[in-house]
Chain A
Amino acid sequence: MQTEYVRDRNVLTILLPEEVDHCCTEQIRKEADHIIEKCLISKVIFDFSRTDFMDSSGIGVVMGRYKVMKFRNGIVEAVNLNRRMQRIFKISGLEKIIMIKKEEMEEKNGDQKSYEDSI
């Protein structure tokens, strides 16, 4: 599953793949930084709606974008985290520096398949 990048003016949404590991993080880093630089992005949103596996390589890529955006006075948010991703964010301490938004999940709940349904 490919990572998708959606830009809306100066907001970049990165729709992460099902598994975020060492294999894909290098590419996400390069592509995201390229778009951030080129399109003067002020807000990066990591969308975890498709993701059910992430290891510390994923933590590295989120933390890295946090640093990049902080340097540019921008912000980083994470949306649509399932229980596993919430746990990874908690254990790694990411939840202390990255704003986690839940609204999007609730808004879409009607037409979006929830995590519990997919297992």
Chain B
Amino acid sequence: METKNHMRIVFDSRPQNEGFARMAVAAALLPLNPTLEEMSDVKTAVSEAVTNAVIHGYEQGEGEILLEMTIEENEIMIRIEDFGTGIRDIKKAMEPLYTSRPDLERSGMGFAFMEAFMDELKVESSPGRGTQIVMKKTMGSREETYGSDDIFN
């Protein structure tokens, strides 16, 4: 069976939409018959990217977040974009445990989780224009890996 699908969703940068984004992506993934682990991995990665956009995307204000998803056979591409502040130093932002908001008790593990749970991660940002996260994953390509990976190793 050929599986091909594409969707674009635009929503406000509010915390309650983080769960909505996860659910939308999970529902779109179902036809691929993912394992429980793959499903959780993608949901976690989406949650991290959307949470980043909500917390950091528009500083104190509010804006829109675009979620785009493309499915082709067993390959998925997820793009999460905001049109806000942007990231000045992407390399620093991606360092595990670095956070620009320790006041909010952020763990600084967002990008590390995206990298750990997806096959490919690309971050593009320009200050004042916004940030775009593109993540790719091939479903059904890996064995269940519970307990084998540790980003600090």
What residues make up the interface of A, taking CB atoms closer than 8 Å to B? Answer: 19, 21-23, 25-26, 29, 52-53, 55-57, 59-61, 63-64, 83-84, 86-88, 90-93, 119
Contact = CB atoms under 8 A, between A and B. Distances in A.
> Helix, strand, loop or mixed for chain A's interface?
helix
A56 B107 contact: yes
A84 B40 CA distance: 8
A22 B105 contact: no
A60 B105 contact: yes
A28 B22 CA distance: 21
B99 to A, nearest CB: 8
Contacts of B19: 19, 21, 23
Contacts of B106: 56-57, 60
Nearest to A96: B152
B113 A55 contact: yes
A61 B109 CA distance: 12
Nearest to A26: B104
Nearest to A95: B150
B107 A63 contact: yes
Interface stretch (B47-55, B119-127, B131-139): B47-55
Contacts of B146: 83, 86-87
Contacts of A84: 36-37, 40
